[in-house]
Amino acid sequence: MPASLKSLAGKFIVFDGLDGCGKTTQMDRLEKKLAQQNVPAVRVREPGSTPVGEHIRELLLTSRGEGLHIRAEMLLYMASRAQLVYEEIRPALCKGIAVLADRYTSSTLAYQGFAGGIPEQSILDVARAATENLWPDLTIILDLPLEVAVKRIHSGAKRGPEQMGLFQDRIENRVAEFHQKVRDGFLHQSQTFPDRYRVISAKGTREDMEAKIEDALVTFFTDGR
């Protein structure tokens, strides 16, 4: 039994990657395993997870096509994050609870930064203010070539309409080139901050990915530190 998942207690772990990379499934599995091993954990997603964050999510959805400027978009994601850190993430970490986050500043760096053109340093500066300098212990990037991500999304009912929402908008409103840049943005971050990022290929089976993620977590939080 992989008892070393216990070393995740009180850690802040982010899962990120291109839409369709399988984050939700993998986070479900990890959450279940942590529960089995009595490691307290909370799960959050961005944008959203707090009442204010859900309003911001709605605003982001409905503002597409209304000329929302990329810097305003970036600040809305950050505002949701500021609230989430204040309401959920910091209190949980202070109690020794592991936090599993579906997206964080890594998404803003990839989408609004690398792909959207906002300088990396500007985003890092805003993130520092929004989160009072709270950075994840580890960010796991589930990496998928763009064609595979698109195929997965379109291959049917695996994701419900709620999960498809923002992605569909993006596919319709923005070109594939944008998503290629997003992927490059995630990979760029992992090269810039190799001590805080791990990249896992999302091309294999769910079971393969699950094993690789568990291995990466255990190595990082026990051997690696």
Could you list the residues that contact ligand TYD (CB under 6 A)?
19, 46-47, 77, 102-103, 107-108, 111-112, 163, 165-167, 170
Instruction: Look at phi and psi of residue 93 and say left if phi exceeds 0, alpha if psi is from -120 to 50, else beta.
Output: alpha
Sequence-ordered list of residues with C-beta below 8 angstroms from that of 161, at least 6 positions apart, any chain: none
Nearer to ligand TYD, 39 or 78 (CB): 78
Nearer to ligand TYD, 104 or 221 (CB): 104
Sequence-ordered list of residues with C-beta below 8 angstroms from that of 33, at least 6 positions apart, any chain: 2, 5, 214
Nearer to ligand TYD, 84 or 93 (CB): 84
**Shortest distance, CB of residue 89 to ligand TYD, whole angstroms?**
13
Rounded Cα gap, residues 144 and 23, in angstroms: 11
**Shortest distance, CB of residue 73 to ligand TYD, whole angstroms?**
7
Task: Please give the backbone phi and psi of residue 62, each rounded to the nearest 5 degrees, phi first.
Answer: -80, -15
Nearer to ligand TYD, 9 or 68 (CB): 68
User: Which residues are paired to 98 by β-bridges?
Assistant: 41
**Shortest distance, CB of residue 38 to ligand TYD, whole angstroms?**
28
**Shortest distance, CB of residue 218 to ligand TYD, whole angstroms?**
25
Nearer to ligand TYD, 74 or 98 (CB): 74
Residue entry with tokens 């209190």: 91
Nearest residue to ligand TYD by CB is 111
Rounded Cα gap, residues 178 and 190, in angstroms: 19
